[in-house]
Amino acid sequence: MNQIPDALYSDQENTTWVIVGASRGIGLEFVRQLLAREERIIATVRETNADHASALWGQAGGDHGRCQMFICDILSEASIVNFVTQLVAIPNLKIDYVVLNAGVLRYPNRATETSFDEFAFHLHTNTIGPIITAQKLLQTSIPIGTIVFMSSDSGSAGNFREVEDGFAAYAASKAALNQALRHMAAELRRKDDDTIILAMHPGEVATDMSNINVPWEIEGVITPEQSVTAMIDVIQSKGIQHSGTFWTWQNQVSQPSTGRGNL
Ligand SMILES: NC(=O)c1ccc[n+]([C@@H]2O[C@H](COP(=O)([O-])OP(=O)(O)OC[C@H]3O[C@@H](n4cnc5c(N)ncnc54)[C@H](OP(=O)(O)O)[C@@H]3O)[C@@H](O)[C@H]2O)c1
């Protein structure tokens, strides 16, 4: 699976991105755009032999040297640890940006109807998996510039979206993610660790996840290309003073009342 000699990683000049959940949708678009920008990418999928993983290689084209594919299932601690262990084995690796993009939405997931298991599934995938993946990466000696969590405006505590009938477990999982990453940023500050922690809302993006019939009108649907082009600029514009804050793809805070990202 590892397509290039590790020696390539001793060159520290290029920017290296880790995209977790790169098989389709927003994650795959990150890989496509970063390849076009000549960046180096470590992309994860759940299954390398599935059709969607082949699509990732299709995006990499003949230049697999800048895009390495690894397996990581964020529902499994063993899979997360195995992935991070493989990164630790890469000599001189430094990571500029980690995008924890993997997420699920099983619609509908109403608080009055959803099962224990369905609720747990959203929390395990959208909250616990991303936070533990970040934690395991931070516990290595790999230098990491910025960790971006793909959140959602559905999880904004400051801007409750009452119209979103059927989104209770999903919204709760993203709200919990927001609060946990905020603590992560505060803990890192106390340890004088200057890794930047960000939450992002990618917009209303036309992907498999959003391909559901909801009874309200979704305004301003954008393509993965539009979302990712904008998000790369937003991510790269943030410094350590922004750690623990929440930004939209349009570089706005979730609710612009405090001047900082309102989680
Ligand atoms: N689309 C939107 O409008 C929108 C809005 C707000 C927030 N978001 C957030 O943006 C992120 C990407 O969404 P999307 O629209 O691109 O969704 P998508 O097209 O459904 O893609 C979801 C991605 O997450 C991966 N994934 C799911 N469970 C995983 C697991 N246990 N371990 C590893 N990877 C896993 C999927 O891999 P497989 O192919 O293996 O399933 C896939 O690559 C999500 O976190 C979502 O909540 C999206």
What are the residues whose beta carbons fall under 8 Å from the beta carbon of 152, sequence distance 6 or more? 103, 170, 171, 174, 201, 202
**How many angstroms separate the CA atoms of 84 and 137, rounded?**
6
CA 24 to centroid of ligand 1, rounded, Å: 8
What percent of the chain stands above pLDDT 90?
A: 78
From the CB of 48, is ligand 1 less than 6 Å away? Answer: no
Q: What is the mean pLDDT of the chain?
A: 90
Residue 260 belongs to a domain = no
Q: What was the pLDDT predicted at 4?
A: 41
CA 100 to centroid of ligand 1, rounded, Å: 10
Residue 253 belongs to a domain = no
Whether residue 61 has pLDDT greater than 90: no
**How many angstroms separate the CA atoms of 177 and 22, rounded?**
20
From the CB of 74, is ligand 1 less than 6 Å away? Answer: yes
- Farthest-apart Cα atoms in the chain, separation: 54
Which of 13-22, 33-42, 119-128 shows the highest mean pLDDT? 119-128
- Only one residue has tokens 């936070």, namely 131
Residue 180 belongs to a domain = yes
Residue type, 240: I
Q: What was the pLDDT predicted at 220?
A: 93
Question: Taking residues 229-245, what's their average pLDDT?
Answer: 98
Residue 2 belongs to a domain = no
CA 165 to centroid of ligand 1, rounded, Å: 20
Dump pLDDT digits (tens) for 142-166: 999 999 999 999 999 889 999 999 9
From the CB of 104, is ligand 1 less than 6 Å away? Answer: yes
- The answer to which of 38-42, 204-208, 224-228 has the lowest mean pLDDT is 38-42
From the CB of 114, is ligand 1 less than 6 Å away? Answer: no
From the CB of 24, is ligand 1 less than 6 Å away? Answer: yes
- The answer to which of 39-43, 49-53, 118-122, 214-218 has the lowest mean pLDDT is 49-53
From the CB of 145, is ligand 1 less than 6 Å away? Answer: no
| pLDDT category of residue 259 using cuts at 50, 70 and 90 | very low
CA 22 to centroid of ligand 1, rounded, Å: 8
Where residue 191 sits, what CATH number does that domain have?
3.40.50.720
Residue 191 belongs to a domain = yes
Residue 1 belongs to a domain = no
For the CA of 24, the nearest atom of ligand 1: 43
Count of domains forming the chain = 1
Whether residue 49 has pLDDT greater than 80: no
Q: Give the residue from 209, 169, 193, 208 showing the smallest Cα distance to 243.
A: 193
Whether residue 199 has pLDDT greater than 90: yes
From the CB of 26, is ligand 1 less than 6 Å away? Answer: yes
Whether residue 226 has pLDDT greater than 60: yes
| pLDDT category of residue 53 using cuts at 50, 70 and 90 | confident
Nearest CA to ligand 1 atom 29: 102
Supply the range of the domain harboring residue 100.
12-248
Quick one: tokens of 213?
């019939």
For the CA of 75, the nearest atom of ligand 1: 31
How buried is 60 (Cβ within 10 angstroms: 0-12 exposed, 13-18 middle, 19+ buried)? buried
| pLDDT category of residue 257 using cuts at 50, 70 and 90 | very low
Residue 262 belongs to a domain = no
Residue 4 belongs to a domain = no
